[in-house]
Every structure is written in C-alpha cells, then in structure tokens.
Structure 1
Amino acid sequence: MPLSDELPLGSETPRVLDRRTGPHGEVVLRRHGEVLQIIANGCFLMDTSDGRSERLLVDAALAALDDRPAPHVLIGGLGVGFSLAHAAAEPRWGRITVVERERAVVDWHREGPLGAVSRDALADPRVTVAEADLVAYLHETSDTFDALCLDIDNGPGWTVTEDNDGLYAPAGLASCARVLRPSGVLAVWSAQPSAEFEGTLRNAGFPQVRTEEIPVARGVPDVVHLGVRPG
C-alpha cells in the first residue's frame, strides 16, 4: 500500500495514506489527526470520528426483528467498518454478509489502518465479505436475509457516484424486497431526512416505514430509514 509521509502523524493537515482509481472513480484514505477519512471522487464520505449512526443502523434493524433466532444480516458497504464491528459484537446475529465494491476499502481493512476497527469482526466465523457491486449482488444472489443494513454513498438524497442512484430507485428497492425473508427489515442510512424516499419505500413494497434521527454537531441530523417487508 503506498503511503505518504509528508506530514507527521497528528498534524492538523490531512495526510493521504492511499489513493486508488478504479471502475467507479477515485477513492482516497486520509488521516486527519487521529481520524481516518474516506474520500470518493473528491467528496467526503465518512470517517472514524463518530460511529453512532452506523451502530443505530444495525441496532434498529435487529430490534425490528423482535426475537427471531440467529437472523442473517447483509451489510451494504464496508465503509470504515463501524457497522460490521457492531454487528459482530452482537451474539444474536447469525450470519453476517458484507458487500463492498471497492477493493481498496477491503484492502484498507484487511491490510491497512482500518483494521483497527474491523480486525476482530473480520476474524469472526459468521462474517463473509463479498467484493461486488451491491445492486448487481442483490439482483443475482440466491441467498435470502432477515435484514439489510445499507450504508451506500451519502444515502438516497445525495449520491457521490451516479450509478449508486439505482439502489434507491424503485427497481433497486424491489431487489431488496426480493431477497428479504417475510417480515424482514430494510434499514437505510442517509445523511439527511427524505420524505420522498419514505414514499418510495412504501411504493416498493414496504408498507411499514419509519425514520430514526441521529443528532449531529452541526447541520441536519443523520437518519436511518426503516421499512418492513410484509409477513
């Protein structure tokens, strides 16, 4: 992994640790003080400063399943690893499948600095990582899931990568419904609330929809949109 040592660790100026160009554009891993950041196509995506919204994404999905034994969860997007680490720390989950399309992100977890977040989770025998585009994976997989926890791009209201729009469109949500077991739950992280997306969820076959907010230091809150497939 190419590393840049231009600035000392802990500097207030972000330091690029790795930069890759792939089929979906450029992804960059930076360190800003003690915080690791992922940048996609020049736009900030996420960092390791606060994992509350990622943990809520997983917890809200599990709570919606009541006491279903050993549910199988799909986590869409490895990101900085908070969702995976939180799911793996919960013994109630059965299988945990993570789908991540950026090979660079997987490498940063398996061999790089993000392993500090995810190392124990990746060693968990319940965990499988699939390197694939999530939309294609949902369309092609024969597997079924009790919960889908999606943290792709900045959510349905603002995507950095244009082809991520398809996940949150009616066809993408129909694929989500197809792989969910009866009464399964779809949990979608978003950088901002979206009444329009709530309507799209209902029209895609999720009659029970609600939104949970996560307050942030500045600006509009992060949210988790939840939809339950009919039993």
Structure 2
Amino acid sequence: MIPWTLLDTAPVPGGEGELRLRRRGAEFSIRLGTVELMNSRISGSEEALATLSCAKIAGRAQPRILIGGLGMGFTLRAALGVLGTKAQIVVAELVPAVVAWARGPMAELFGDSLTDERVRIEVEDVGRVIRSGRGSYDAILLDVDNGPEGLTRDSNGGLYGVEGLRAARAALRPGGVLAVWSCAPDRDFAARLRRTGFHMEEVRTRARGRDGGARHVIWLATRADSPPRRPEAEA
C-alpha cells in the first residue's frame, strides 16, 4: 500500500491544534490531529449540500450563494454544476492555507472551479461575511467544522447559536435557504432553527452518496416570511 505523505500543516485561527494536508497517490486527506475532517474519496454529502440547496431556489434568475468553508471544493463544484451562468458564488474560507492548497497541491482536484467567473473567494470568517450581508443571499451553505458541534474552533458555535442563526436569517433574501451540513443529528440545533424564523427540513444523506458510507445530516432551513417574536428570556 502506498504510504501517506505529509504535504503541509496550518494553524487554525482562533482554535487549537493544526490542520494537516496529506496525500497518498491521488487521494488527499485533511486532518485535525487524529481526526480526518475530509477525504477526496468521500464527497457525497458535501455535494448534496449544494444540490439540495440549489433545488430550493431553482428559478431565481440571478441567485447569489454564500458557501462557508472551501474544504476540498466538493460543495463549490456541485453548486457550479447546477447553477446557471448568471449565478454568483462567494466562498468564505477562514484558513489561508486551505485556499493555497486548493491552488497548489490539490489544483487538479479543483479543476477550473476557482477561476470560474461566477466565483469569488474571500479569506474571511464566514460569520463576519454573514453579519455584513443583510438581505444579500438567496442561499447560505455552511460546511464549517463538523457541524453545530465543532471540533476546530470554539467560536464556530457562534454560527449555530440563536444570534448566529438570526444573523443568517437577516442575510437571506425572502424565501432564502440556510443549509447546514453536520456529521450527526442535533435536536437542539433543529429546535433553534425553528425558533429563529425558519421552516426546517432535515435530510439524511450518505458520505459516499449512492455508494453508502456514514450517515450525515443536512438541514434545509427556509426563511419564514415574518420573524418570530423574541421571548423575554431564551435558553
């Protein structure tokens, strides 16, 4: 068997530990310590994040999409494959090295997706991009960390808490969709989506798509027409 080769490492801004990019033949892996965050052979649920979300906003003439987390580009490439020529896709990636890896050792994997005229890459915290984009997006796709229960960065929780979800709702256009990838179900998070003004659908999908693999979760949360009343106190 071909051994793994360590290509590069990168610290996680505001987090603990470091990301490690490894290669074995044509296969790539990004790990945090001993935990594999993504692998180039496993892309089914990340692609589903894009295709399911874009289906929700089909028919919009010039959709504007925000993707939180570049990763290995599975979600970006899937979105490009189903969106029309008038679409705009902003990708917010916190770790500069991940963008460098996409343009360097993983360039063949990304193909021409990073130079597509519909795409803009921002090396930025997606939470900041969301908060600065009121009414800007038809869909926001979050594949950050491992979902609401993050591994790499404590502040990722700010995306998935009540205030983070309110900010996402404000950044969406009427009828827009917030789609969230997670490695596992989370009842509390699903309840927060409903409480913050979303109509929520929970979809189970396989890591390897039709070929099976671990079960992952995608929440498709459509912005409700009117915001919910804020209770005097929230848990």
Q: State how far apart, in whole Å, the 1-side matches of 2:154 and 2:34 are.
A: 14
* Aligned twin of 1:18: 8
Task: Return the offset for 1:158.
Answer: 4.0
Secondary structure of 1:157's partner? coil
* Aligned twin of 1:230: 224
* Aligned twin of 1:204: 196
Out of 72, 79, 87, the position equivalent to 1:94 is: 87
Secondary structure of 1:164's partner? helix
Deviations 1:47-89 (A, max 9, x none): 1112111111011111111422221111110001111111122
- The answer on 1:138 being equivalent to 2:138 is no
Q: Is the 8 A contact 2:134 2:172 kept in 1?
A: no
Flag the 1:178–1:126 CA change in 2: closer, same or farther, 3 A.
same
Q: State how far apart, in whole Å, the 2-side matches of 1:121 and 1:222 are.
A: 25
Task: Return the offset for 1:142.
Answer: 5.4
Flag the 1:98–1:66 CA change in 2: closer, same or farther, 3 A.
same
Task: Return the offset for 1:160.
Answer: 2.9
Secondary structure of 1:30's partner? strand
- The answer on 1:38 being equivalent to 2:30 is yes
Task: Return the offset for 1:175.
Answer: 1.2
Amino acid at match of 1:136: R
Task: Return the offset for 1:159.
Answer: 3.0
Flag the 1:78–1:116 CA change in 2: closer, same or farther, 3 A.
same
Alignment of 1:54-65 (within 5 A): 54-65=46-57
Task: Return the offset for 1:157.
Answer: 3.0
Amino acid at match of 2:39: D
Task: Return the offset for 1:30.
Answer: 0.7
Amino acid at match of 1:98: V
Flag the 1:226–1:22 CA change in 2: closer, same or farther, 3 A.
closer
Flag the 1:125–1:143 CA change in 2: closer, same or farther, 3 A.
farther
Q: Is the 8 A contact 1:159 1:165 kept in 2?
A: no
* Aligned twin of 1:7: none
Instruction: Tell me the TM-score normalised to structure 2 length.
Output: 0.86
Q: State how far apart, in whole Å, the 2-side matches of 1:43 and 1:161 are.
A: 14
Q: State how far apart, in whole Å, the 2-side matches of 1:186 and 1:143 are.
A: 13
Deviations 1:177-224 (A, max 9, x none): 111000000000000122221101111211x101111134555x1111
C-alpha RMSD over aligned residues: 1.9
Between the two proteins, the alignment pairs up a number of residues equal to: 218
Amino acid at match of 1:109: A
Secondary structure of 2:8's partner? strand
Task: Return the offset for 1:143.
Answer: 6.6
Taking CA–CA contacts closer than 8 Å with sequence separation of 6 or more, which of the two structures ends up with the larger relative contact order? 2
Provide the identity percentage: 35
* Aligned twin of 1:68: 60
Amino acid at match of 1:197: F
Secondary structure of 2:99's partner? helix
* Aligned twin of 2:230: none
Deviations 1:19-40 (A, max 9, x none): 1235334121011343211113
Secondary structure of 2:109's partner? helix
* Aligned twin of 1:119: 111
